[in-house]
Amino acid sequence: MSGPNKTKPGVDKALLIKDAAKLLPEPSRRFFMRGAASLGALAMLSGCEIIDGDASENVLRVISDFNDGAQALLFNPNTLAPEYPEGMITRPFPFNAYYSQDDAPDVDGDKWQLEIGGRVDDKKSWTLAELNKLPQVSQITRHVCVEGWDYIGQWSGVNLREFFARIGADITAKYVAFHCADGYTESLDMASALHPQTMLATKYAKQPIGDPFGFPLRLRTATKLGFKNAKWLTAIEVTNTFPDTYYRKEGFNWFAGI
């Protein structure tokens, strides 16, 4: 076993500690950076001995999962994100994806349907025209990207809680999974899905969402980082089985609250 002062092969101590601190909730982060920041502290927090690069990845995953749990406990489903005046709306809103704008999917709105699955009474598919006939809600909220930029946007569509009531979704289930036309996957805990500002958005700044920005339907949740707002929705599933996601597999926090 390596001694406490021995260099760990494949591990940059400073970067590992910095990355671990980013994954902790604020009170724990301050304590960690003030005095406990060491490879030994990371090992104690995660229960993993850091002996190489693979082990450091495991440590960061454990701490990320800890952060997810802490954020979930702190989340208040009745606290609303701030709303803003129309004069602050960004037009057009920025394109952002893990590919270029030219590679965005081309969805035929006339043939598109939203598939419904999992713990739901009514699994009928929904067309865009049917969704537009449902009661509509609107919000002007801030979209925050994990990359550090943000903008104010006006979103309109169907409140997700009301949609779940209409289709008989089991709101005691743990998760809601979202599938997209570009192969992207995302998911929410049920409390976040039922938040008053979580919606299935069909419009931006009072105009139908066009391509390449998620036509014809995208998730809008004002309490999460931007990558949780899945675009080009094709299916929703209510489930008790944890639905892994594109960016969690890339090392991002799953809860991703703001």
Residue 200, domain CATH: 3.90.420.10
- Same structural domain, 222 and 97: yes
- Same structural domain, 102 and 147: yes
CA–CA–CA angle 185, 45, 39 (5° rounding): 105
Q: Give the model's pLDDT for residue 250.
A: 83
Q: What are phi and psi of 220, to 5 degrees?
A: -130, 115
Question: Is residue 79, in this structure, part of any structural domain at all?
Answer: no
Q: Give the model's pLDDT for residue 166.
A: 98
Q: Give the model's pLDDT for residue 4.
A: 38
* DSSP element (H, E) containing 5: none
Domain final residue pick, 41, 74, 107: 74
Question: Is residue 80, in this structure, part of any structural domain at all?
Answer: no
Range of the domain at 33: 13-74
Q: Give the model's pLDDT for residue 77.
A: 85
Query: Minimal CA–CA distance to 218: which of 122, 128, 110?
Result: 128
Domain final residue pick, 74, 96, 120: 74
Euclidean distance between the first and final Cα of the chain, in Å? 40
In 47-174, where does DSSP find H-type helix?
53-74, 128-132, 160-167
Q: Give the model's pLDDT for residue 36.
A: 46
Give this prediction's pTM.
0.76
- Same structural domain, 52 and 164: no
pLDDT lower than 50: segments of the chain: 1-13, 15-17, 20-21, 23-47, 50-53, 55-56, 59
- Same structural domain, 32 and 155: no
Six token digits for residue 192:
């976040």
- Give the SS3 label for residue 102: helix
- Same structural domain, 93 and 203: yes
| Pairwise CA distance, residues 46 & 49, whole Å | 8
**Residue with token string 């599933």:** 237
Six token digits for residue 249:
């597999």
| Pairwise CA distance, residues 207 & 157, whole Å | 11
If one counts the domains in the chain, the total is: 2
Check if the beta carbon of residue 137 is closer than 8 Å to that of residue 158.
Answer: yes
